[in-house]
Amino acid sequence: MTKLVFVMFSMLTMGATYLTINDIGVLEPSIENAREGSRHNGMRGVGRGHYGK
Amino acid sequence: MSATKLKSINCTQCAAPLSLRGGRYVESINCGYCGAVLDAKHEYSVIKNFVKAKRPYLPLKLGMSGKIKNVEFTIIGVIEFQHSYDHSRWIEYLLFSPTHGYAWLEHDHGHYVFSRRVRDLPDGVMQQYKTTFRARDRKFQVYDFYDATVTFVEGELTWIAEQKDKVHVTEGIAPPWIYTIEKTAKEKEYLFGEYMDYKEIEAIFKPDSALLEPEGVHGAQPYIPHPFVAGLGRAGLFFAPVALLLWLAVVFMGSGQPVFQDRIPADEYLGNQQGATRNFTITNPDRLVELNLYSGLSNAWGWYDIEILQHNEPLFSMSQLISYYHGREGGENWSEGSRSATALFRLPEAGEYSLRVWGEGGTGEYDTTAQRAELDINITEGIIVSRYYLFLLIFFALMVYSRRHFRNRFEKQRWGDDDDD
């Protein structure tokens, strides 16, 4: 059983290494092609019950 | 095959056949058919009767033999006790070996304890729950005090049992060992026992039907983790330091080098069609670039549109929100949001780039007048994220902790309380 867990943990470590080396899942999600413009759409969710325009 | 010589007699009260295997120290034979107690020293005359004694479930039978600790023992007698306080019952089998004498095998809700009479007295006073004492070169912890009553006997015993005989029991444990003092009106006995797995007992005595699995946790039961839990703990002990080293290495090597730092006045990025533009240089395009914004907003929000340009041509854009609210409510300070925002992105090649930023914002619930706070911009290249190794480290550390958790849970069950680790 310990061998099985060692194999599982080795795979987890390799997976974490793969994600780290390839910068997977860390890039800024709001990035868009410049021609599409920013995500500015006039709605802002802010503060404790505070809302912008 | 038993090593004991088998003799048999007929019960002098009911004529039922009774086997004799117990050696010369046997004092009484208890007929399981009629309840008669026969005097082994006086022609098996009837001394008394155990009346209305309900026969308990006996997973092991009289006459069964097997090797315990490399000594051949035969079950010659059975005695059932009842706890005076919680009325639970358990069985004690009297074992006999022609070469090693008498021993006891306790059966309590599927748990088995093999014990023998000893002459070693404890070196401390066993008067308080959980206090420690030493006996037979081991450190024991006082586990229980209780009175028990004899409710059933069968077979041969080395004394003449009385129905409702009372015994005061004091137990100390050092799992798998147990040290017991049994005090009756006539004598005091010291017993040293060892917990035995029911599968081991099954292999030794080979009963007709499989023994029932133990219920709960016995006082002397050693903690043996499930193989998977043990594997998790062992592997965690190896992998947690590995993950820690990897995480530290990434934190050390992946924190990056600053390539740009500036504080932009509010006039430059608020309400300005052109926005505020700054240049920066990237030398390591293989790794991530981190943009960090900070604004000292107070009970306000700011929305920042950011464009990254190369050779004055826009590459991409993004938006970042900074919102920070705080106050005091119900006598307590509160705060929400953050005064900073971070974005990670990748640039295609080494060289000069520009950053252009516009801003807008508001205060309170509806006011869209931006708070005129300066905006700090920091750009760092050569970033390697450490979050995955951090998750891994936390996970492996939890696996190591799980060993302790399961052990603690077992100990709580052993002691029947919730305040012990």
Q: Indicate whether B247 belongs to any domain.
A: no
Structural domain containing residue B206: 7-222
Q: Do B301 and A34 touch (CB under 8 A)?
A: no
Q: Which residue from A minimizes the CA distance to B345?
A: A27
pLDDT the model gives residue B256 = 94
Q: Indicate whether B406 belongs to any domain.
A: no
Token digits of residue B275: 């926005």
Is B289 in the same domain as B338? yes
The answer, yes or no, to whether residue A34 has pLDDT greater than 70, is no
Is B91 in the same domain as B208? yes
pLDDT the model gives residue B418 = 53
Q: Indicate whether B237 belongs to any domain.
A: no
Domain boundary pick from B181, B200, B222: B222
The answer, yes or no, to whether residue B408 has pLDDT greater than 50, is yes
Is B341 in the same domain as B218? no
pLDDT the model gives residue B55 = 84
pLDDT the model gives residue B260 = 97
> Is omega for the bond preceding B214 within 30 degrees of 0, making it cis?
no
Residue type, position B126, single letter: M
**B366: chain A residues, CB-CB within 8 Å:** 51-52
The answer, yes or no, to whether residue A52 has pLDDT greater than 60, is no
Spatial separation of the C-alpha atoms in residues B401 and B74, rounded to whole Å: 45
Q: Which residue from A minimizes the CA distance to B246?
A: A17
The ipTM estimated for the assembled molecules is: 0.75
B186 vs B412, more confident: B412
**B344 closest CB neighbour out of A6, A28, A51:** A28
pLDDT band (50, 70, 90) for residue A29: confident
Is B139 in the same domain as B272? no
The answer, yes or no, to whether residue B250 has pLDDT greater than 50, is yes
Q: Which of B188, B184, B197 is nearest to B223 (CA)?
A: B197
Q: Indicate whether B341 belongs to any domain.
A: yes
Is B183 in the same domain as B330? no
Q: Indicate whether B415 belongs to any domain.
A: no
Is B172 in the same domain as B28? yes
Number of domain units in chain B: 2
Strands B36-39 and B28-30: antiparallel
Kindly report the average pLDDT of chain A as a whole number.
73
Residue B6's Cβ-side half-sphere holds a number of Cα atoms within 13 Å equal to: 12
Q: Do A34 and B317 touch (CB under 8 A)?
A: yes
Is B210 in the same domain as B283? no
**Per-residue pLDDT reduced to its tens digit, B91-118:** 999 999 999 999 999 999 999 999 999 9
Residues of chain B with pLDDT > 90: what percent? 73
**B309: chain A residues, CB-CB within 8 Å:** 34
Is B309 in the same domain as B162? no
**A2 closest CB neighbour out of B231, B246, B391:** B231
The answer to whether B38 and B22 are in contact (CB under 8 A) is no
Chain B interface, mutation test: which of A4, A50, A51, most B Cβ atoms within 10 Å?
A50
The answer, yes or no, to whether residue A3 has pLDDT greater than 50, is yes
The answer to whether B231 and A4 are in contact (CB under 8 A) is yes
- CB contact set of B279 (below 8 Å; sequence gap of 6+): B352, B353, B354, B355
pLDDT band (50, 70, 90) for residue B254: very high
Q: Indicate whether B392 belongs to any domain.
A: no
Is B174 in the same domain as B314? no
Is B180 in the same domain as B272? no
pLDDT band (50, 70, 90) for residue A2: confident
Is B213 in the same domain as B270? no
Q: Indicate whether B87 belongs to any domain.
A: yes
Chain A interface, mutation test: which of B245, B303, B325, most A Cβ atoms within 10 Å?
B303
**A12 closest CB neighbour out of B291, B320, B392:** B392
Chain B interface, mutation test: which of A6, A7, A8, A9, most B Cβ atoms within 10 Å?
A9
Assign residue B296 the CATH number of its domain. Answer: 2.60.120
The answer, yes or no, to whether residue B148 has pLDDT greater than 50, is yes
Q: Indicate whether B46 belongs to any domain.
A: yes
Token digits of residue B162: 């009385």
Spatial separation of the C-alpha atoms in residues B194 and A19, rounded to whole Å: 52
User: In B24-137, where do the E strands start and end?
Assistant: 28-30, 36-39, 45-49, 65-68, 71-83, 89-97, 101-108, 111-118, 132-135
Is B140 in the same domain as B284? no
pLDDT the model gives residue A35 = 53
Give the residue-averaged pLDDT of B342-359.
95
